[in-house]
Amino acid sequence: MMITLPDLVSLMIKPETKIFNILFEKAVKLLKDYPIELVAGTLMAIAVRLYRTSLNDQEFEDMMKAVADTNPEPYDSLKKKSIH
């Protein structure tokens, strides 16, 4: 069996980078049809529920505080009119 260059590159990418890229690409596609707040809110709801499922109470509280205390840079290229 011959491994192609794209297969080799895919094997070299860290799992967290691969997952980020897959979900980011899907989110950008959704933005063509849905408001940015709806896409972001849905991803956030999924993330919080996954954290709640996998973390104990203290870990979950620490994670939510870390999220609340983070001030990420915006994706300037994705800015659209707000639904608010």
pLDDT tens digits in sequence order for the chain, 84 residues long:
677 887 777 777 888 898 999 999 999 999 999 999 999 999 999 999 999 999 999 999 999 999 999 999 998 888 765 555
Q: What are the two backbone dihedrals, phi and then psi, of residue 4, each rounded to the nearest 5 degrees?
A: -85, 165
8 Å CB contact between 52 and 60? yes
Structure tokens at 15: 């799992």
8 Å CB contact between 4 and 12? no
8 Å CB contact between 39 and 27? yes
pLDDT of residue 5: 80
Who contacts 21 (Cβ-Cβ below 8 Å, separation ≥6)? 13
